[in-house]
Amino acid sequence: MDRNPLATFCDNRVFPVVSCLTFVSPPSYPLPMAKLSIQSLDVQNKEVLMRVDFNVPLKHGAITDDTRITAAVPSIQHLLKGGAKLVLCSHLGRPKAGASAEFSLQPVAVRLAELLGQEVKLAADSIGEEVAALRAGLQAGQVLLLENTRFYPEEEKNDADFAKQLAGSADIFVNDAFGTAHRAHASTEGVTHYVKQSAMGFLMARELEYLVYKLDQGERPFVVIMGGAKVSDKIQVINSLMAKADTFIIGGAMAYTFRKAQGYKIGKSLVENDKLELALDILKNAEAKGIRFLLPADTRITQEFKDGAETRVTAAYTEGGEIPDDWEGIDIGTQAIAEFSKEIASAKTILWNGPMGVFEIGSFAEGTRAIAQAVADSAALSIVGGGDSVTAVNKFGLDDQMNFISTGGGASLELLEGKELPGVAALTNV
């Protein structure tokens, strides 16, 4: 049965060469040793299945940000240069009911062909006889992109039969999809049981290099900047990093939970009332360990949650500057910016996860912008750990001044929580 209605209009098309990129060199630093690396593989004339993260944002069928495609190019080029018959697979979005044009990887195939400067065939499906025939017909140095793996619910269920079909006749699997490595899906974990070797690609290796190895061995002082909406989302990261960090800087709405727990008035600011005890425990724990745990001294507040609304900065909490009942905190205040920036300037290693305020709204973005600038100006090794802080750094045009920006959201958080990612654990040990 042909389960994929895309077959009619997609028809295993070959996307032509439009432009050419020069070869992107693989990273020059040594890759983490515990797992097999793409650099150690002999792929000449061999079929290689590679999981990539081509889950790009699309608007009316056009890619609005191709970062995830360009990020996979070094590994793809390395394998093609080595003479692999390369089969790529990825998910795109969250298709609910099987195959649909809306979630087709067709625009990705077009963009990838442009970036590689060579043809990229798009299969109409990810498994099945037609796909097997296309795979069998691949020559060394050619690329075949399989259609969205999530057109099959078996993908997210890590179904063994689906994983086996995806592995097909490939003996080598490469996983470069860091953003989905925290999920045990057929294309990230299951497939490794049906190949001889499973290696990490350059992107995966770089994420592990920075988020695990460099943070472990980072020079002191190690300053962790945490922000965002909720303490509950970050509690495990805070607990895990307590073992490594010298200083925590806390911004965003999560600061109000700490301030309320300390007995201050926080007006109608976002707060987690069921996490007040937890907040106090964190503060006590930090004190007992001799870790500096810095909360914002003051807060930028508003009565209206919209761009252009009037804002004020409170006096410092410790000087009676609490948030009035009908006002809410939307950013850190000026004293907090100055204190945090000073702390950042003397750091040797910085990890940043989560914005200092509602940076999406222009008039509430000052604190996040200032902290992003302080991190950019610092001589420390700067690591931006996924999610909204990445969006903020990009928005302020400071991305090229950071040492490393993670491409993963959930995957980076889980790594920072000290968890082993299923997509990494399943790779071949060396």
d(Cα 3, Cα 94) in Å, to the nearest integer? 17
**Least CB distance from residue 55 to ligand AMP, whole Å?**
18
Of 13, 157, 230, 265, which is the active-site residue? 230
d(Cα 190, Cα 164) in Å, to the nearest integer? 8
d(Cα 92, Cα 107) in Å, to the nearest integer? 11
**Least CB distance from residue 329 to ligand AMP, whole Å?**
5
Q: Which is nearer to ligand AMP, 218 or 333 (CB)?
A: 333
Q: How many CB atoms lie within 10 A of CB 236?
A: 15
Q: Which is nearer to ligand AMP, 203 or 358 (CB)?
A: 358
Strand 14-15, strand 62-63: pairing = unpaired
**Least CB distance from residue 356 to ligand AMP, whole Å?**
7
* Contact (Cβ atoms closer than 8 angstroms) between residue 267 and residue 304: no
Helices 67-81 + 106-116 axis angle, to 10: 60
Of 179, 228, 387, 408, which is the active-site residue? 387
**End-to-end CA distance of the chain, in Å?**
41
Task: Decide if 357 is catalytic.
Answer: no
Task: Decide if 230 is catalytic.
Answer: yes
Establish whether the linkage from the previous residue to 221 is cis, with ω within 30° of 0.
Answer: yes
Task: Decide if 82 is catalytic.
Answer: no
Interface residues with ligand AMP (CB under 6 A) are 228-230, 233, 252-253, 270, 329-330, 354-355, 357-358, 360, 387-388
- 3 state SS of 90: coil
d(Cα 402, Cα 67) in Å, to the nearest integer? 16
**Least CB distance from residue 237 to ligand AMP, whole Å?**
11
**Least CB distance from residue 256 to ligand AMP, whole Å?**
7
Q: Which is nearer to ligand AMP, 109 or 330 (CB)?
A: 330
- Cα–Cα separations (whole angstroms), residue 256 to 143, 151, 356: 51, 42, 12
Q: Which is nearer to ligand AMP, 202 or 256 (CB)?
A: 256
User: Tokens standing for 16?
Assistant: 């032509």
Give 211's contacts (C-beta < 8 A, 6+ positions apart): 383, 385, 406, 412, 415, 416
**Least CB distance from residue 325 to ligand AMP, whole Å?**
16
Of 268, 410, 418, 419, which is the active-site residue? 410
Q: Which is nearer to ligand AMP, 157 or 230 (CB)?
A: 230
Q: Which is nearer to ligand AMP, 233 or 246 (CB)?
A: 233
**Least CB distance from residue 332 to ligand AMP, whole Å?**
8
Could you give the count of Cα atoms lying within 13 Å of 289 in the half-sphere of its Cβ?
A: 18
Q: Which is nearer to ligand AMP, 125 or 388 (CB)?
A: 388
- Which of 203, 268, 262, 233 lies closest to 354, judged by CA? 233
Of 35, 68, 206, 300, which is the active-site residue? 68
Where helices occur in 201-246 by DSSP H, the ranges are: 202-208, 215-216, 231-241
Select the residue whose beta carbon is closest to ligand AMP and give its number.
Answer: 228
The dihedrals phi and psi of 292, each to the nearest 5 degrees, come to -75, 130
Task: Decide if 284 is catalytic.
Answer: no
Which amino acids are annotated catalytic?
Answer: 68, 230, 387, 410
